[in-house]
Structure 1
Amino acid sequence: MTKTICIILTILAFTGCSSDRTEPTPTPAESMYFPPLTGNTWETKSMTDLKWNQAAVQPLLDYLELKHSKSFIILVNGRIVMENYFNGHSPTTNWYWASAGKTLTSTITGIAQQENLLNINDKISKYLGTGWTSETLAQENLITCKHLLTMTSGLDDSTDDVDPASLIYKADAGTRWAYHNVYVKLQDAVAKASGQTWENYFNAKLRDKIGMNGTWVQLGVNSVYTSTSRSMARFGLLMLNKGKWDKTQILDETYFNEATNTSQNINLGYGYLWWLNGKANYHLPQSQLTFSGSIIPTAPNDMFMALGKNDQKIYVIPNKNMVIIRMGDAADNVNLALSDFDKVLWEKISALYQ
């Protein structure tokens, strides 16, 4: 009897505990938002809801304006948290991406591969024909599409020109990292492989599918993309979501992962025309020096970046579901894709949420 009573009391005790205890309901993760393909509708998110530091906003805006910015956008989960324009710029003004647009070429190359139009492991002469460089046939045949994506063609980078006379042997493909305009040959390869103009293929496979505006403009040897800041933000949002726009996988996720991770063992901070933060070391354009540490030490380590001359920026930060856009003139006298501007800017951005 005593044993039975103990069992009953034990059961009642556990029952009482379970009925008295209310488990907290977890806050559901906010869904990712994608703006409509047409129109100006774009959901916003308040800093109050995010519990961000309002006092950090004005110092950030003052710095952006001081540094010749034209636009600045922060997205969190696809929603606009900040959108500011300076110096006569507006939401409808187009501006050039400069080398930040290299990431568009990377993305379209991946799309062409998933459509079985080309293979990035093929030699580039399969699509361009031989004699597109001044190298010997054996040297030229070493250069693959992937070498152009990773800046390891081995071609002399002392000139921006990409005519055959300017594309001179410096090292075997894959053995030297050097920032070079020769990546534009990927646009020619896609055009040849698809049987379309580069711009028509780009518009159909990427621009129109995510609601971007913009056009390609020929500036010297470069085909430079120009668009609104929101169009740049749309592309950043696509890449935040690993090549997926809403329910449509536009860029294969496997290729996306290759593009946004270290692509070779010379410059750890470089993927397929994307810059990568948080690596052990990196190289800069026009230099063969290896710099230790993260490219932007004040920014999140998981960030990957599209960076262009005169400080055109797309920052994608996966662990914060965040995309940041900056367009404008050069922040300082240094006109490279990377400068001290990034370091200070990220100190001010981080003050918003830390």
Structure 2
Amino acid sequence: MKTLRLVPILLFSLSSILSFSQKNSASEKMYFPPNSGNEWETKSISSLGWNSAKQQELVDFLAQKNTKSFIILHNGKIVMENYFDGQTASSPWYWASAGKTLTSFTVGIAEQEGFININNKISDYLGTDWTMETSAQEDQITCKNLLTMTSGIEDSNGDGILRENLLYKADAGKRWSYHNVYVKLQDVVSKATGKSWQNYFSTSLKDKIGMSGAWISKNNNEVYWSDARSMARFGLLALNKGNWNGTLILNQKYFHDATKTSQNINLAYGYLWWLNGKSTYYLPMTQMQFSGSLIPSAPKDMFCALGKNDQKIYVVPSKNLVIIRMGKSANNSNFARSDFDEMLWQKIKAMMN
């Protein structure tokens, strides 16, 4: 009889411990690393109740898939941080199109500071004839069109953003097409603020959250380079909806609009952010609509920054997670989302279960 009574007691105790652990994790205060120095608090896989036996499988997979840097944050603390192929915590790497989200944030800051209005025409800031379109066609294109990839500009001329490459394809707002013309938003911010893009970005965003890195010009396009922890800092800012340790960097109205469906064509796209969990999506370089979620194995509330050759920032509000991947292409060269996203999330889920 004593043994029979002990079983429910032990079960109750184990249940209580697990319940306490889950509540403790849920109520844990969000951590922000200092803006200077190398200090960054960590926590263990086991403290989250994850399967540590699956961690090495994930690490091996990352190494096999040409990864340079990989970081997982939970409530701001580092859970995993791995470097491969000679990369270190201080080595810079390019963000590619994952850096579009930096432009999105900075445009939002410029709007909240009263320098621009994203509903205004690009020509209000850059003057007319910044494209090869007619005046009537060009006059339709707003800052929001560039944020949402709905400029209507021809997308078969590669990444070039010189005037001679900016040709009419459709009326603004009528067609979703992945195009580097969004870079013109950096010119808009520079013209409106009277500062260089580099300077305004640094003082309004980069320096405020302790990021390193710089914009480097390539083919008339500004590409951001930094270490992986700087990318993680930006992901942490996004997880906290534009708030950095009590300091509001970006207002929540703009952030909310940036991370929800921004137009009725590509449901999986916000203001230069990719959105998971939608019923359909489009991909770069195609006008095909695909059914289902962007990354089926990932949480539905996830939003992400996706760059060429598998540069990734995954932000998962429901799990207080930020996940960073930098490196060479995992399989073949790609523009944003790839099969690697799904494969990686299957490995992450196996560890989290």
Q: TM-score, normalised by structure 2?
A: 0.92
Deviation at 1:195, TM superposition (A): 0.2
Give 2:66's aligned amino acid: H
Q: Residues 49-198 of structure 1 correspond to what in structure 2 (within 5 A)?
A: 49-159=47-157, 160-198=159-197
Q: Which amino acid aligns with 1:194?
A: T
Letter in 1 for 2:52: Q
Structure 1 residues 131-167: Cα deviation after superposition (integer angstroms, max 9, x where no partner): 0001111110100000000000000011121122111
1:200-240 CA-to-partner distances (Å, cap 9, x unmatched) read 00000000000000000001021000000000000000000
Corresponding letter in the other structure for 2:261: T
Summarize the alignment of residues 1-354 of structure 1 with structure 2, pairs less than 5 Å apart.
Answer: 27=24, 29-159=27-157, 160-354=159-353
For residues 243-271 of structure 1, give each alpha carbon's deviation from its aligned partner in whole angstroms, at most 9, with x where no partner exists: 00001010111000000000000000000
Q: Secondary structure at the match of 1:39?
A: coil
- Code of the aligned partner of 2:40: W
Given residue 144 of structure 2, which amino acid in structure 1 is its aligned partner? K
Shift of 1:336: 2.3
- Counterpart residue type for residue 275 of structure 2: L
What amino acid maps onto 2:97 in structure 1? Answer: S
Paired with 1:51 and 1:182, the residues of 2 have a C-alpha distance of 45
SS in 1 for 2:82: strand
Q: Larger deviation: 26-35 or 231-240?
A: 26-35
Query: Residues 308 and 333 of structure 2 are in contact (CA less than 8 Å); yes or no, is this contact kept in structure 1?
Result: no
CA distance in 2, matches of 1:145, 1:317: 27
Report deviation, 1:334.
3.5
Higher Cα Rg: structure 1 or 2? 1
2:99 partner amino acid = G
- What is the CA–CA distance in structure 2 between the aligned matches of 1:256 and 1:324, rounded to whole Å? 19
Tell me the residue number matched to 2:8.
none
More deviation in 45-54 or 205-214? Answer: 45-54
Return the TM-score normalized by structure 1: 0.92
How far the C-alpha of 1:352 sits from its partner, in A, is 1.4
Distance 2:92 2:333 in 1: 23
Name the Cα RMSD after superposition. Answer: 1.0
Partner Cα distance (2:103, 2:200) in 1: 11
3-state SS of the aligned residue for 2:325? strand
Give 3-state SS (helix, strand or coil) of 2:72's partner. Answer: strand
Which AA in structure 2 matches 1:37? N
Task: Structure 1: give runs of 5+ residues left out of the alignment.
Answer: 1-23
The size of the alignment, in residue pairs, is: 331
2:86 and 2:141 map into 1 onto residues whose CA distance is: 45
Q: Distance between the aligned counterparts of 1:272 and 1:349, measured in 2?
A: 27
